Chains A and B, each alone.
Chain A
């Protein structure tokens, strides 16, 4: 399960970076980029805590 969660988190960050690069190259509009960034942000904060946080002692 953990590798899957890590993969999804990394994909979220990659999507944020990728869409911004695409935006910089004129491939997508700034508004589309903002939507993708919001989606990536939500995905990161929903998924990352499950693999980044260790159970409290």
Chain B
């Protein structure tokens, strides 16, 4: 999911942040397979699986919708992101700077930092629910926006402070730990699914299909929740990581790939991290509801502990921590980039404290699907701008990397296209009632079209001014 911070944790010793990655530094397919498999198994998977159930998906819609959506995500990484990454071998930030100038990167970093705080908050909450199990802290009901008591608020805040301190000290040690934990986490998610089966009365494949339709994904949305269909599931699983494929965030990763076909390595993350983990998390939730029909709360720690005991508690805590840590670290870096004299330690602590406070509100986590969609939507227009700059500028006799070529620190068409695309998405949402899960692609296309025509007008205008 959006836990993907692969450009940080997979980073080699030499970062090549402001230069093309040399051929000697490129990596083989195995590095990408391992990285995607590990980094798409995160604590938030334990929120997403149950949330699909609450939104009333049917078994067919979930199993097929997830398969199609995740395959589309893999194809997007392979045919949209990776070719541009391998062609230029620049980070997203350096490429944006060439297109729109340094000020564009700063604004992008600000948006990224804010969104990362919100995502980190969800991960802190997930880990805190694991701490809460042995402490027997009172947990919130499904639709509670506020913590049910000081116990949960304190647990979340202290968990967040711990994560923040480690992130502020630098994420390297925990990143190494995350690499060790990754294979175990993948297996543990499978274990969750297997261990849940007997409690659901499933002893054969035929049993599974019956239980899937009747008790796991019965297809009834909880009151106040949008009724999900096949299309919701498909688009969510396709766009869940939109900021990284359509949004080009993973340019920073695939610039190390020897070939663009390494984009297919993302299948490892989509199949194990998303397809399997979301299904298994749904099974866990079904077990909880089957034990007590009134217990509809999504508390990953309690869910995992119910079927896997202490090992489950450990998984929830570690899965949340290993993904929250690099996100907090990057949020700190993003905010620090706004003012180079701000010390990274203090900025990271400030970001972490904000994330910890946000995590205290369980309502935020029960709306995680919407939050994930918003994250992708907000950042994906930048990917469209990079895409258009790469494929359409030269054939139409326009200049790519215009800010760099013109020596500008700020070039308005990319920023204007980004803002206008988001305004267009808000208009679609308010005017036509288009749900946020479906706005990603229209937003991406609008940003690309706006950027192309505004670049055409602006570049011609500048050229006419220079050559009257």
Contact = CB atoms under 8 A, between A and B. Distances in A.
Interface residues of A, number: 25
Contacts of A30: 195, 198-199, 307
A37 B309 contact: yes
Interface residues of B, number: 25
B198 A13 contact: no
Contacts of A57: 13
B191 A37 contact: yes
Nearest to B172: A56
Given A37-B312, A38-B309, A40-B311, A13 B195 contact: no
B179 A20 contact: no
Nearest to A35: B309
A38 B203 CA distance: 24
Contacts of B203: 24-26
A52 B187 CA distance: 16
Contacts of B406: none
A20 B198 CA distance: 10
A53 B175 CA distance: 11
Contact of B195 (A33, A38, A40, A49): A33
A34 B179 contact: no
B194 A20 contact: yes
Contact of A20 (B13, B176, B195, B314): B195
Given A16-B187, A37-B309, A45-B184, A26 B198 contact: yes
Contacts of A33: 195, 308
Given A17-B194, A20-B191, A48 B312 contact: no
B221 interface: no
A39 B9 CA distance: 28
B197 interface: yes
A38 B311 contact: yes
A11 B244 CA distance: 35
Interface of A: 13, 16-17, 20-21, 23-26, 30-31, 33-35, 37-38, 40-41, 44-45, 48-49, 52-53, 57
Interface of B: 13, 176, 179-181, 183-184, 187-188, 190-191, 194-195, 197-199, 202-203, 307-312, 314
24 contacts: A16-B187, A16-B191, A17-B190, A17-B191, A17-B194, A20-B194, A21-B194, A23-B194, A26-B203, A30-B195, A33-B308, A34-B310, A34-B311, A35-B309, A37-B195, A37-B309, A37-B311, A41-B310, A41-B314, A48-B180, A48-B183, A49-B180, A53-B180, A57-B13
